[in-house]
Chain A
């Protein structure tokens, strides 16, 4: 089933999404603050898949909606407004586009349908204890013998590894030459013998990311995406999309709703200071939306995302932090009880904890400032990233 979603009038598209969500996303899954395990969210995932709506960014030939970036933003907005749950969709968002760009026909046929159907849940194995911002210094080893590749080493901060069926990892297959060379992108089944996963609890009290240990886990070389030793190219191609996603205004938007609710709860809505902050927060969100649309337009014109997108990621993530700081301040002592956040209710400290992460992941904001200064503005010497 394939329809032209972009040809629909925007209002019709919104109405279609709303009706669909109202019918198929159960109320008990809405406006949840804690991320739910796949057992809870998969029915909604599968409902989206059944309707051909799970992969908004993929081309239609692979079962995607092929939305223009502008439409994609509408899609995100409607999902957010209705409070649909966070999904284990890293396969859709991150891996899918890489397989479409770099995969063999066999890989496309093998993985894309299973990702779309939710039969495979993917996690991203990039970071290591010794390789964070300096990702290319990674050391987790991949040894190729014949048609097998054997992985030994450790990954860390791997989101949802404990729920994932598969992991796309970067491993080192050659140690000589520049550090970006000799990295290979491997698609690993988590059921492979020799893999151990240990969850790490975060400040918000969630077990969201994990350590992943590879102790001689062996998979076929048909699991290598792109060329051996050239996985950096594959990984890099994902970064732009990851960054535009990290730069979407959705988090700041949600934080603004919470700020407004908290200002009202605390009886501050008539104070000039808080009225002003609400407007400042709204400007941050709406202005961020304008910037997002500008980048989205550029992507739809030439299909690539320039390094300038770093500015979008910085604005979106820091606006989220500014707003959540204010919510915590508006809450005062109300914000100090250590309760699990309830659906749709303000949870200022929880949000504040949550707001710390986006300035660190998808490239820490300091790294984005380096990129802007060195690659966009041409200051200092160029450094590889």
Chain B
């Protein structure tokens, strides 16, 4: 993947910011579609722009500031998967034309007597799902809406036994691509989480400057100043980690290195976003726990995104399985 050059980055960031600042439109999906933001990871020959994780993170992060990032990450992962192993398939055309919504179905799938088996739950609602099983990539339709996620998004269940599946690609590259796309997806979701954290920080700082108690603004109280400083530090740290990870991931990395970076960056974003949600609510007082309050959509979104592609504990376990890099024996030279 060729990383975005700084000018293109800036252009994307600006147009995303303009979009996020505008009125939420009734037809959110088609407006994202017409900007090209849902299928930009498809190759140009398939109607996309050949963009990678850096662009997707910019788009998802920018839209997340206005709680409008759905379904960018989902579509990015689908588009990326197709770009890697099935760029000329019907789902790629569906995604490019905006005819049908395509999502990557991530979960354990078996193949039983030539048929897919198992049930996938907590899936985004889409018309076509990409499923990796038995060294092959399948397109599956037939998801059923089953409940609503904390952030208001519909959740779907996909019963693979009875679904219609089409094989799009065969070979070990499907599983390899899935691994890469999950890692990149973690970076994109991390970008959203961090954006929510940063917005909550801004909202909270404004509140601390204006809300008066005991004859002064909340921001005068040192106990709260120190909390705010810690939340600021958490966001700054997560930003440094995520930007560095995306800059390293964009040109392409060995699978283990990409996984490590993505696990670490998403774990840090998870933690920053949760710390921010807790801290912001507390500093808002009762207003912080109202549904109408300014924090609510961000908080709900954070709680929905933290488990997506891994809670921090899950990510650390995955990281430990790949193997830590700072090992004692590698840090000493012979003379020691």
Contacts and interface: CB of A to CB of B under 8 A. Distances in A.
Interface of A: 18, 21-22, 25, 27, 30-31, 81-83, 253, 256-257, 260-261, 275-276, 278-280, 282-283, 285-288, 290-291, 293-294, 308, 310-311, 314-315, 344, 366, 368-370, 372-374, 376-381
Contact of B220 (A280, A287, A381): A381
B320 A279 contact: yes
18 contacts: A18-B333, A30-B335, A81-B331, A82-B336, A257-B326, A279-B319, A279-B324, A283-B319, A285-B326, A293-B244, A311-B229, A311-B232, A314-B230, A372-B229, A373-B219, A377-B225, A379-B219, A379-B220
Contact of B240 (A291, A372, A373): A291
Interface string B204-227: 010011000000010111101110
Contacts of A311: 229, 232-233, 236-237
B319 A373 contact: no
Interface in B178-236: 205, 208-209, 217, 219-222, 224-226, 228-230, 232-233, 236
Contacts of A291: 236-237, 240-241
A374 B205 CA distance: 11
B205 A27 contact: no
B224 to A, nearest CB: 8
B229 A377 contact: yes
Contact of B233 (A31, A83, A293, A315): A315
B264 A257 contact: no
Contacts of A257: 326, 328, 331
A372 B232 contact: yes
A370 to B, nearest CB: 7
Nearest to A293: B244
Given A18-B333, A82-B335, A279-B320, A287 B228 contact: no
B269 to A, nearest CB: 11
B11 interface: no
Contacts of A373: 219, 222, 225-226, 228-229
A288 B234 CA distance: 11
A76 B205 CA distance: 37
Contacts of A286: 241, 264, 325-326
A285 to B, nearest CB: 6
A286 B268 CA distance: 11
B305 interface: no
A22 B333 contact: yes
B267 interface: yes
B232 A380 contact: no
Nearest to A285: B326
B202 to A, nearest CB: 10
Contacts of A81: 331-333
Given A276-B313, A291-B241, A379-B219, A282 B325 contact: yes
B219 A380 contact: yes
A369 B335 contact: no
B336 A31 contact: yes
A344 B237 CA distance: 31
Given A376-B232, A377-B232, A294 B225 contact: no
B237 A287 contact: yes
Contacts of B237: 287-288, 290-291, 311, 315
Interface residues of B, number: 42
Contact of A260 (B233, B327, B336): B327
Nearest to B244: A290
A378 B237 CA distance: 20
Q: Which of B237, B264, B267 has the most CB of A within 10 A?
A: B237
B334 interface: yes
A381 B271 CA distance: 30
B324 A379 contact: no
Given A257-B328, A369-B230, A379-B225, A279 B316 contact: yes
Given A81-B331, A279-B319, A311-B237, A344 B264 contact: no
State the 7 A-B residue pairs at the shortest beta-carbon distance, nearest first: A379-B219, A373-B225, A372-B229, A311-B233, A369-B229, A291-B240, A380-B220
A373 B283 CA distance: 14
A69 B244 CA distance: 16
Contacts of B220: 379-381
Contacts of A275: 320
A57 to B, nearest CB: 21
Contacts of B232: 311, 372, 376-377
A30 B336 contact: yes
B317 interface: yes
A264 to B, nearest CB: 9
A24 B317 CA distance: 42
A290 B245 CA distance: 9
B316 A366 contact: no
Contact of B209 (A22, A253, A379): A379
B316 A280 contact: yes
A256 B225 contact: no
B228 A278 contact: no
A253 B326 CA distance: 8
A369 B244 contact: no
